[in-house]
Amino acid sequence: MNKDVRTPLVFLRYQRPLRALMIDGQPWFAAHDVGCLIGRRVEQLAEYRLDADLKRREWLSTQTGEAQTWLISDAALFSLLQHFRHPEHPSLRRWLVREVIPTLRDSVNEHPQAPRRQLLRWVDTDLSTLHWQDDIWVRFVDVPCLMPMDTQPARRSGVLRRLLDNL
């Protein structure tokens, strides 16, 4: 049997993996992983309800070998987030748009000197970084999560905080 096995990038959100990859310049996501993130059985939806251009079946490499997996396009993913409304979904959509999809697109970057996004595994979270000019750049808003807890400034409490806030 001649099969092309693809290797996805794995992103973590709340300790849940999301396998994603670029195929022909378009982002595709493992339906099972999307289902775990949104609490729905997306694989069945992909198989029976999504249009043919929004789904595909591919062989992916996994930790235990290879498995045939349903993939859904980014358009299908955003459509599912809209259809199954939940308070967490806007945050999930922002994470996908700001970190996952740009990282996927940069993973197939044809210009080696151009800046590219990378995910850095840091403690129990993924940290979005930029690799440029042989250095790793971190967003300013992410710096506090890099600092050890004992070096972060202590939070003022009660009367002292109110006095200093009024100055």
123 or 99, which is more confident?
Answer: 99
Task: Tell me what pLDDT residue 154 has.
Answer: 58
* Helix 74-83 with 31-38: angle, nearest 10 deg: 20
45 or 150, which is more confident?
Answer: 45
> What residue spans define the domains of the chain?
5-166
Burial of 138 (0-12, 13-18, 19+ CB in 10 A): middle
Tokens of 104: 């996927």
Check pLDDT > 60 for residue 151. no
Task: Tell me what pLDDT residue 144 has.
Answer: 74
Q: What is the mean pLDDT of residues 27-50?
A: 90
The least confident of 17-31, 46-60, 66-80, 142-156 is: 142-156
Mean pLDDT, the chain, whole residue set: 84
Check pLDDT > 70 for residue 153. no
The least confident of 51-55, 92-96, 129-133 is: 129-133
Backbone angles phi, psi at 128, to 5 degrees: -80, 125
Task: Tell me what pLDDT residue 129 has.
Answer: 85
